[in-house]
Structure 1
């Protein structure tokens, strides 16, 4: 019998009308591909570039075929896009469009559009189980804790909160230069020579480039705003990165625990993990100004979670591990010291999952990842080519040992149970925590043999042990506490919710009572988070002085500014951070860093004049002692009018600085 769709009925006169061809169905991926390619320029013309970013994020999340919740998809797609953005920055540093949001969006949309045309994705699943809803609540709480002291403040207020984070000043200089020159500074060495101290052009800049790209999407274009505005944006972004790091560790610990440890029991794990990080370690990283390390630890947490509990599809697993490894290397390649052993643990413990993958594909993935991850290391080879770098001195807040040791003990004991040893995820977790702990011990012994005491990078490696320990504790949660129940009965059980909430409060209270540092003081008031929240380490007078001096300087300024003022309210911009911040705000740290070092100590008129004579650029000194200012001006005389300028700093009754007049 003919098909009814193609057989035409006869009309009343017996004539058979002409047959019509059925319409060919449109390729199912054509519309999504067209939307992805056309949306960036259209949304840019409408001045809503953040919607482009959201579109690419959601489109990437929809491509996963592994069984994942909506929150899992969003978290993993954020990690994938971050690694892609770090690698794309190499191309963006060479093409003529720099970090323009349309160029970056189109370069990201092209592979997504190709996938949409060739392999249509699965239908989206938008369900949020109770575990994810509780995780989102924990994310929001962590974000409030990390951003509360920065929100509602102007650029000067945010600078005051983070004033003593010396490294943050250099990270701001990198971010601002990447924003202005449109790419990695290793490709713009000459342009960045004035803004950066020599050697920092090759410092790993993945975090700075990603933040600069996000700034471009928000602003709808390229280039940098005035330095003070750029600083206010950067400090807020740094707090956001810290919140993302805490959220990543929370998600990773819950993924390591697995679906059996779901429902209301997640509150207990979130309280333990988030409370530990916020009260001490994560806040300490922010106060120290370790922006790139925080960014790298965020990706490192996602990688650790995938090492312990891989995705169901090996191709997606390889893609994510490769992108995260590249992002880690571009952001803070010291993390590769632990990331590479973790990847080997994944390949050994979960080798059965790799059997369907061809060896050629595995070799290609390893070669591509290794080559891309080696780029920032090779660019900075002058600083990274010797193991002696690991014994270099530096300033870092010490990790709180009296909290770290019980954390590691609980994780290891939970992973040594019979139930844990029979599970591949928990075997991988045990291998991960013991391997990283072994690396920590090895570095400690190396530093003791080299210098007689532990140094900067030992504390940095302990930060990685904290992250791995917290995620491993999530894997150990099920053997320690047993399955909390499944399905709707567990989710809707009020008694279980009350018990989980009470246990979470008890854990938080115990962390609060023990969150003090190891220096012998006691009480929650001595914790780093309490100091951050209450502004104990803030420097409002110093920040006001630095910004007041900055806004009075000419633009561009051919001279170098140096603060030689006396401390106020226990703050001291003269001896350390003040001149560093002044230099990065003036975008001349490449030539003013010597004046920053020279200005750490009190100087006589003779020393000021002598330094001005040796300075490669005209010197402008700011003094708040009228007698010292007058003596310096007299000694300089009219012959040094173009080489040395003395400016008097006065203060109002409420401590507000007044810059000027120039002392003749």
Structure 2
């Protein structure tokens, strides 16, 4: 049965907007908003309040939508639109003299907004500014997700944040990319020579949409360009990484509610948020943060918004095309592997909702061509690194998706979308097609990897992450009948009945949400639950309680970093022994040391070599073959003395030995090098 969103157009005048008083002419009342948009960036920059400029642009973008949307919908879609615009604008900014300066970026964004305001002024009605119960509950769920991910980071300094995410090998490389983009003022493919010291060869062309957007946000917060000292930059980046995961889960929550549509009702949003948010936080999303998959997380958030719009489009085709184009460009610049599932999702949108596209088919074709050309830019820039299908069979470290939760959710979602009522609904038909298409891609990649390597590899799990997102969003449309009809007061209810009905619905929804969360908590462990140490807790519990943190390793890395000169002509290598149950040498200590020194392009060989114990002779031989002078940090006095004796005075220009000692409280003491 079609729901309200498929029966009534979203773009009816008066639903969320009031038309201009004099159509076809410039409304004098639009001159002031346009002037504010253009004059605010330089004025607020002088006041060191660039963050207010960003808020102003975000609000102005949200106000431009003419489709019938709530205030929360407007803000979410405006964030997605600005993200795609920022990724594309970053290409021009990287080539221009202003770089990522907040005033230049703000003016480049304010200009089209001001032109749109003058060409077609509009005023938001009170109805479009209201925050209904569904949105209030959704915001509450988003705040709970933010508390889970940001509280452990906000309570720590830069060293503590590094400790919480120390084992995220990929996060170290993403920090190096973010820091280099921030310092050099744009995409690194345009600054290859300047970035060569900071990055391992080949990473200059890695998709950098997420790093550029985070660098732009940092610039607006700091009120200027350039990066702070490395450790302070790392502290800001780790906090941003937690915020990116929060935004990603929030985007999936919003997308699931949009897929459900008005049939979801008010209080019934609680069980859906518990299912969606609980499943992601407890099982699938948190491992992505701990593994350091920052750009993938960023892209998955955009993919969630794109999927929601593909399932339940906006009423105005022009706005729909603009948003889908911006989100597709954002996907390509952030993590273009996500284009693989995005294409069939968009195709199902075009087929299922083809009647809406017929009047604007020429515009849609032009938008598709322009979007495809823009999305191809990061792919072509990185073509030398990903020019063969064999890349899809490459190995890599990734925690497997929790199959015992994904498979039942997938089965129930598909069965729910196969019902007669679902098949008669355009939104649910699109949801079914999207789920089946992404599942088919997963099976194709699985067979390819089995034929190529005999087992599944890294990118198979990555594609499963995308299936998780699509299935979770489609579940919002599939399980709506379980929550009953939308909230409304019965015309016959009077007196106490009217007062108790909302309370009963709230109590039922809260109880259902708690039951869903309890079931997820009891089943959120990885598939291999029993280990040598007994029951294995979920990664979310480990993150919240700091079980995966490495405080000693982080303290050692930051102490060594603080003791080094800036810039350091030598690369540093930690060869210390394990202490307090941690071994920074074997894990990621040398990688973090290199990215903090901004010399990972020179020090990455030392990181790989230094992961195992070495004799004095091996240390000296490696230093002799190193293309750059090195300094090793040892905490064994005998090993340090033997290494210095074997190196002799003639090799001091190639090898320097620093002895690390420890205070009574276990704090590492590193000799300062000048």
Aligned pair partner of 1:356 in 342, 356, 359: 359
Q: Which is greater in Rg?
A: 1
Using a 3 Å threshold, how does the CA distance of structure 1 residues 491 and 94 change in structure 2: closer, same or farther?
farther
Deviation at 1:481, TM superposition (A): 3.9
Could you tell me how far apart the structure 2 residues matched to 1:238 and 1:385 are? 29
Deviation at 1:479, TM superposition (A): 3.3
Task: Provide the residue aligned with 2:47 in structure 1.
Answer: 46
Matches within 5 A, 1:105-254: 105-124=106-125, 125-254=128-257
Offset from partner CA, 1:486-517 (integer Å, 9 cap, x none): 36979971111100011101110111111111
Could you tell me how far apart the structure 2 residues matched to 1:246 and 1:635 are? 55
Deviation at 1:250, TM superposition (A): 0.3
Offset from partner CA, 1:630-655 (integer Å, 9 cap, x none): 00001111111222110001111221
Could you tell me how far apart the structure 1 residues matched to 2:104 and 2:489 are? 46
Matches within 5 A, 1:145-544: 145-357=148-360, 359-486=361-488, 493-521=502-530, 526-544=537-555
Deviation at 1:280, TM superposition (A): 1.4
Could you tell me how far apart the structure 1 residues matched to 2:297 and 2:568 are? 34
Report the secondary structure of 1:112's partner residue.
helix
The answer to whether the aligner puts 1:582 opposite 2:579 as a matched pair is: no
How large is the Cα RMSD of the aligned pairs?
A: 1.6
Report the secondary structure of 1:654's partner residue.
coil
Aligned residue pair count: 638
Could you tell me how far apart the structure 1 residues matched to 2:448 and 2:499 are? 50
TM-score (norm 2): 0.93
Offset from partner CA, 1:140-172 (integer Å, 9 cap, x none): 001001112111201100000000000000000
Task: Provide the residue aligned with 1:79 in structure 2.
Answer: 80
Task: Provide the residue aligned with 1:592 in structure 2.
Answer: 603
Unmatched runs of 5 consecutive residues or more in structure 1:
1-23
Aligned pair partner of 1:654 in 657, 665, 670: 665
Could you tell me how far apart the structure 1 residues matched to 2:149 and 2:553 are? 23
Aligned pair partner of 1:566 in 561, 564, 577: 577
Could you tell me how far apart the structure 2 residues matched to 1:59 and 1:78 are? 11
Deviation at 1:520, TM superposition (A): 2.9
Could you tell me how far apart the structure 1 residues matched to 2:133 and 2:331 are? 31
Could you tell me how far apart the structure 1 residues matched to 2:290 and 2:133 are? 34
Report the secondary structure of 1:263's partner residue.
coil
Deviates more, 1:463-472 or 1:520-529: 520-529
Deviation at 1:425, TM superposition (A): 0.2
CA contact (8 A) 1:66 1:312 kept: yes
The answer to whether the aligner puts 1:88 opposite 2:78 as a matched pair is: no
Deviation at 1:613, TM superposition (A): 1.3
Deviation at 1:616, TM superposition (A): 1.7
Offset from partner CA, 1:63-114 (integer Å, 9 cap, x none): 0000000000000000000000000000110110111100000000000000
Report the secondary structure of 1:645's partner residue.
strand
CA contact (8 A) 1:43 1:51 kept: yes
CA contact (8 A) 1:29 1:116 kept: yes
Report the secondary structure of 1:194's partner residue.
coil
Report the secondary structure of 2:29's partner residue.
coil
Could you tell me how far apart the structure 1 residues matched to 2:266 and 2:237 are? 37
Task: Provide the residue aligned with 1:62 in structure 2.
Answer: 63
Deviates more, 1:372-381 or 1:124-133: 124-133
CA contact (8 A) 2:27 2:121 kept: no
Deviation at 1:28, TM superposition (A): 2.9
Could you tell me how far apart the structure 2 residues matched to 1:375 and 1:588 are? 28
Offset from partner CA, 1:543-591 (integer Å, 9 cap, x none): 0000000000001101110000011122111123110000000000001
Using a 3 Å threshold, how does the CA distance of structure 1 residues 425 and 504 change in structure 2: closer, same or farther?
same
CA contact (8 A) 1:562 1:619 kept: yes
Could you tell me how far apart the structure 2 residues matched to 1:645 and 1:389 are? 39
Could you tell me how far apart the structure 1 residues matched to 2:487 and 2:35 are? 45
Could you tell me how far apart the structure 1 residues matched to 2:317 and 2:475 are? 25
Report the secondary structure of 1:437's partner residue.
helix
Could you tell me how far apart the structure 2 residues matched to 1:558 and 1:339 are? 46
CA contact (8 A) 1:260 1:486 kept: no
Task: Provide the residue aligned with 1:18 in structure 2.
Answer: none
Deviates more, 1:495-504 or 1:144-153: 144-153
CA contact (8 A) 1:263 1:491 kept: no
Could you tell me how far apart the structure 2 residues matched to 1:115 and 1:536 are? 52
Could you tell me how far apart the structure 2 residues matched to 1:127 and 1:64 are? 15
Could you tell me how far apart the structure 1 residues matched to 2:204 and 2:501 are? 55
The answer to whether the aligner puts 1:635 opposite 2:646 as a matched pair is: yes
Deviation at 1:524, TM superposition (A): 8.6
